[in-house]
Amino acid sequence: MPKIFSGRKVVKVLFKDFGFCFVSQKGSHMKLEKKVEGKTIITIVPLHKELAFGTFKGVLELAKIDEKEFLSKAKK
């Protein structure tokens, strides 16, 4: 899969469609969180111009989001 998403695009989709909110930022990495059923889900998104596919998958894994679900929301 080609590098198709920037870090900022991923953050935008996580905010808008998945209910994540900003926690902190250190350098080019943004920390986001979402509370679900009393648990906190945290993910880290590097704000790079293009995310490598493995990095993109890692962000989604931490966020507990299925890749297909993310792609369907991001294409809107």
pLDDT greater than 80 at residue 1: no
What confidence score (pLDDT) does residue 2 get?
Answer: 57
Report whether 11 contacts 30 (CB < 8 A).
yes
Q: Is residue 21 in some structural domain?
A: yes
pLDDT in tens, 28-66: 999 999 999 999 999 999 999 999 999 999 999 999 999
Residue 20: predicted pLDDT: 97
Give the model's pLDDT for residue 30.
97
Residue 62 located in a structural domain: yes
Q: What is the domain-level CATH number for residue 58?
A: 3.30.920.30
- Which residues form the domain of 17? 7-74
For residue 1, being part of any structural domain is answered with no
Residue 29 resides in a domain? yes
Task: Examine residue 15 and state whether it is found in any structural domain, yes or no.
Answer: yes
Short-list 38, 44, 37, CA closest to 14: 44
Count: domains in the chain? 1
Does residue 18 belong to any structural domain of this protein? yes
pLDDT score of 66: 95
Query: Is the whole model's pTM more than 0.85, yes or no?
Result: yes
Q: Can you spell out the DSSP letters for 62-76?
A: HHT--HHHHHHHHT-
CB proximity list for 41: less than 8 A, separation 6 or greater: 20, 33, 34, 35, 62, 63, 64
